[in-house]
């Protein structure tokens, strides 16, 4: 633990703190996490399989849709769950969840798991889903929030600022909104500094002014928004006084963004990989840029096109099984993202590692010969040709790509031709490119996320 004061629930007792029920549960989970994250890998996997076995048994007894699905795969209650048996179970897709509807919901949720709430994903993939989760899932989410703060040694007496997509009318610019603490997870166990929130709909210039006025110790936002902020701060040659780190969520963090954040703002990026359906999936290690899987709450697989496990250094589809969702079990759920399997980490933690979260499968360019690869678009040369502030590419067919641009001024025919040559060379194919211009900012998904390349071919 850091030297920050723990919150005591007993008046007159400041130290040692006496936590309330919620705080005690979170601290107990945090202690267990600190032990499990250094267990031998085979012991950790044994515990994961035991817990997932309990979820499978519950799904068999109380979720009709799963009973049929598991029976078809040859699984029965009492079968020992091994890695091979796990891989024999069918994958769960977003389309499956949409089609199954209420049939995927448990008819007998254990009372001890607490109240049930519904999470609605924003549909960034074009396939929105509704997932039920319990208060116990929320407790696990909060425990991993505390773990993230602990790992990075954040000074929670400082101000925390967040710029993210929220409902219209909430935390509107230029003032945003203020809170007395860092949120329910931290406030349940600690005495923290204040927090401020600004709606992502604010202009970048307004955002930078807001950040400078608040001078937070920590800033949370999306990587694409951070890119715009860095460009603005770079032009003005200013930094944020007292900033310790930038926390990123929701999108892929590139090595180039890490470098520019360090060069312009003078701080590192600390990334979180999570989803509304599952909660925290992986946290960036404080000792490296690898991600540690939250193995106490998730069982994560990275599989190739044949369904076999990927080896370190190989990239494949992420498949996640929630270890505690008894309201609506998610077993071998295809998240839709690609990841590269990591290697043992220098930090000494034995949690599984992901070397990189590569992005969504729909972010791969598809060539006419049927091959797919990660799209390099030559963006590092764009500013040498024209004053481009933001770009996005939408592959509409096997031959055509729409290039969306926000520029400081209209581009000439020659500049468009130069850009087209760079993009075609980077994509390794002579696509038919259609340029489309936007005045201020390119549109985002409803959840505030932004994807630089999207393939719309089904």
Element (H, E) at 194: none
**CB-CB contact of 427 with 375 (8 Å):** yes
Shared domain for 68 and 204, answered yes or no, is yes
Angle at which helix 255-264 crosses helix 223-236, to 10 degrees, equals 40
Segment 180-184 shows an average pLDDT of: 95
Q: Which pLDDT does position 35 carry in this prediction?
A: 97
pLDDT at 191 over 60: yes
- Total domains in the chain come to 2
Give 46-77 pLDDT, tens digit per residue.
999 999 999 999 999 999 999 989 999 989 99
Shared domain for 144 and 223, answered yes or no, is yes
Shared domain for 303 and 369, answered yes or no, is no
Q: Domain ends where: 343, 360, 377?
A: 360
Q: Which pLDDT does position 125 carry in this prediction?
A: 45
Alpha-carbon gap, residue 98 to 277, rounded angstroms: 13
What does 340-405 look like in DSSP terms, one character per residue? Answer: EE----TT---S-EEEEEEEEGGGSEE-TTS-EE-----GGGHHHHS-EEEEEEEE-SSSEEEEEE
Shared domain for 32 and 127, answered yes or no, is yes
Q: Domain ends where: 323, 340, 360?
A: 360
Q: Which pLDDT does position 115 carry in this prediction?
A: 95
Shared domain for 236 and 327, answered yes or no, is yes
Give 318-329 pLDDT, tens digit per residue.
999 999 999 999
Shared domain for 350 and 213, answered yes or no, is yes
Q: Which pLDDT does position 269 carry in this prediction?
A: 97
Shared domain for 435 and 340, answered yes or no, is no
Q: Which pLDDT does position 127 carry in this prediction?
A: 57
Output the six-digit token pair for 101. Answer: 């509807």
pLDDT at 167 over 50: yes
Shared domain for 311 and 413, answered yes or no, is no
Shared domain for 224 and 302, answered yes or no, is yes
- Give the CATH number, domain containing residue 436: 3.30.300.30
What sign does the CA torsion over 67, 68, 73, 75 have? Answer: positive
Shared domain for 289 and 402, answered yes or no, is no
Segment 300-307 shows an average pLDDT of: 96
What's the pTM? 0.83
> Which structural domain, as residue segments, surrounds residue 89?
1-360
Give 369-395 pLDDT, tens digit per residue.
887 766 767 777 887 899 887 889 999
> What is the share, in percent, of the chain residues with pLDDT greater than 90?
67
Q: Give the residue from 450, 445, 391 showing the smallest Cα distance to 223.
A: 450
Q: Domain ends where: 314, 336, 360?
A: 360
- Give the CATH number, domain containing residue 28: 3.40.50.12780
Shared domain for 293 and 355, answered yes or no, is yes
Alpha-carbon gap, residue 388 to 404, rounded angstroms: 10
Alpha-carbon gap, residue 437 to 435, rounded angstroms: 7
Shared domain for 135 and 275, answered yes or no, is yes
């Amino acid at each position: 633990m850091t030297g920050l004061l723990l919150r005591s629930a007993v008046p007159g007792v400041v130290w040692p703190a006496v936590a309330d029920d919620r705080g005690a549960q979170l601290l107990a989970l945090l202690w267990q996490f600190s032990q499990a994250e250094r267990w031998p890998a085979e012991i950790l996997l044994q515990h994961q399989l035991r817990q997932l076995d309990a979820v499978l048994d519950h799904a068999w007894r109380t979720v009709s849709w799963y009973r049929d699905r598991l029976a078809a795969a040859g699984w029965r209650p009492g079968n020992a769950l091994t890695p091979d048996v796990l891989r024999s179970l069918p994958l769960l897709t977003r389309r499956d969840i949409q089609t199954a509807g209420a049939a995927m919901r448990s008819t007998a949720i254990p009372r001890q798991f607490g109240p049930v709430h519904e999470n609605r994903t924003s549909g960034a993939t074009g396939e929105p889903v509704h997932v039920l989760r319990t208060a116990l899932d929320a407790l696990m989410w909060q425990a991993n929030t505390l773990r993230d703060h602990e790992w990075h040694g954040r000074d929670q007496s400082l101000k925390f600022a967040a710029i993210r997509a929220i409902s219209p009318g909430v935390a509107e610019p230029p003032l945003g909104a203020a809170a007395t603490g860092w949120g329910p997870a931290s406030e349940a166990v600690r005495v923290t500094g204040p927090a401020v929130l600004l709606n992502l709909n604010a202009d970048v210039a307004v955002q930078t002014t807001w950040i400078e006025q608040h001078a937070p110790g920590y800033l949370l936002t999306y990587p694409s928004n951070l890119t715009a902020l860095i460009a603005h701060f770079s032009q003005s040659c200013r930094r944020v006084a007292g900033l310790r780190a930038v926390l990123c969520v929701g999108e892929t963090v590139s090595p180039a963004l890490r470098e520019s954040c360090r060069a312009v703002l003078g701080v590192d990026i600390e990334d979180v990989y999570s989803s509304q359906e599952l909660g925290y999936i992986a946290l960036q290690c404080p000792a490296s840029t690898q991600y540690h899987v939250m193995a106490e709450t998730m069982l994560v697989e990275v599989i190739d096109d044949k369904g076999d496990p990927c080896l370190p250094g190989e990239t494949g589809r992420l498949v996640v099984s929630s270890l505690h969702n008894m309201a609506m079990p998610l077993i071998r759920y295809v998240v839709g993202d690609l990841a590269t399997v990591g290697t043992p980490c220098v930090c000494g933690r034995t949690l599984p590692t992901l070397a990189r979260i590569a992005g969504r499968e729909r972010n791969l360019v598809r060539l006419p010969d049927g091959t797919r690869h990660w799209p390099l678009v030559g963006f590092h040369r764009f500013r040498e040709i024209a004053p481009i502030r933001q770009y996005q590419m939408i592959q509409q067919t096997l031959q055509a790509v729409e290039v969306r641009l926000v520029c400081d001024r209209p581009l000439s025919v020659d500049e468009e031709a130069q850009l087209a040559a760079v993009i075609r060379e980077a994509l390794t194919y002579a696509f038919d490119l259609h340029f489309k211009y936007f005045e201020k900012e390119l549109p985002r998904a409803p959840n505030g996320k932004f994807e630089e390349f999207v393939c719309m071919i089904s």
